[in-house]
Amino acid sequence: MPLRLVQFLLLGGLIVLVLVVIVLAVRSLEPAWLPLPELAAKEEASITLAQPTPVPTFTLTPSPVPPTFTPTSTSTATPTFTPTQSPTPTNTAEPLIEPTATPLPPLPASPPASIEPPTPAPPGLDFVVVQQRMRTNEENSVLGKVANNCGGDHSIYVLVVDAAGQPLTGVVVGDTYKNVRAASGSAGLGKLRIDLWSNTMSLEVQGNIDGTAYTSEQTLPLSTRDEDIPAEWLFAGGYCGSIADCQLRQKTNGLCRGHYSYDVTFQRTW
């Protein structure tokens, strides 16, 4: 057999073998060689299945909220408020007039000038009390004008004089408990001043600044506490309209607690 024929047969067999391998490979890869319409249908099915559906439900919820809230609050507030306020001033004006007129009681027509001691002074004393009086409400106020129905002072103003009525200096006056002391002349010629806080005290002459001891009559209890002050004194000072009114206010704390002042004069007997 010639060599050329042998080569031709080998080449033909090799070609047939390659074709068989290709056919077998095509058979195994058959899904990838589907026609184009089937692939397009599969892609459309996968796309439609992957798209979400809840989009239309989200846009419906915010739309009804704003239109219903704004018109109701602005339109109804102004017309309904103006008619109801017009009748109220006529009702409230009447009860406000009476309380402002009652707190200021008129001063009594002729208040007594002094508080007289209940018993005469015992003889043989160096000093006696010739005056002791509660200051009126106007006297106890700044510039003589009552502010808030009560004065603001709480003091005992003392004057010390000799037998002829001339001022004495250097005379020591204090309370009977020896808690406070002051010398005449410290607040003017023959004068002294003792603060009277929320307490009650009686005053007396206790001596001289040079050490000389004196005997003295004592004042009545002078107090800034309502319950310790006789109603007659309060009425005389213009702190209430009558003695019965003073007694009622003493029980209800309706007076000028802590703000009362007094004038006292001690006179030497020799």
Going by pLDDT thresholds of 50, 70 and 90, the confidence category of residue 6 is confident
Please give the backbone phi and psi of residue 230, each rounded to the nearest 5 degrees, phi first. -60, 140
pTM confidence score = 0.57
| Per-domain boundaries in the chain | 127-268
Q: Which residues, 6 or more positions from 134, have their beta carbon under 8 angstroms from its beta carbon? A: 115, 229, 233, 234, 236, 237, 260, 261, 262
Pairing of strands 155-161, 191-195: antiparallel
Query: According to the model, what pLDDT value does residue 202 have?
Result: 98
Going by pLDDT thresholds of 50, 70 and 90, the confidence category of residue 19 is confident
Q: CATH 2.60.40: does it fit domain 127-268? A: yes
Going by pLDDT thresholds of 50, 70 and 90, the confidence category of residue 120 is low
The helix/strand/coil state of 205 is strand
Going by pLDDT thresholds of 50, 70 and 90, the confidence category of residue 17 is confident
The answer to whether residue 184 scores a pLDDT higher than 90 is yes
User: Which of 17-21, 95-99, 178-182, 250-254 has the weakest average pLDDT?
Assistant: 95-99
**Residues 136/238, Cβ–Cβ less than 8 Å:** yes
Please say whether the dihedral angle defined by the alpha carbons of residues 236, 242, 246 and 249, taken in this order, is positive or negative: negative
**Residues 259/151, Cβ–Cβ less than 8 Å:** yes
Q: Convert the pLDDT of each residue in 186-207 to its tens digit.
A: 999 999 999 999 999 999 999 9
Please give the residue that has the higher pLDDT: either 143 or 155: 155
The answer to whether residue 96 scores a pLDDT higher than 80 is no
User: Which of 18-22, 80-84, 95-99, 161-165 has the weakest average pLDDT?
Assistant: 95-99
The answer to whether residue 61 scores a pLDDT higher than 50 is no
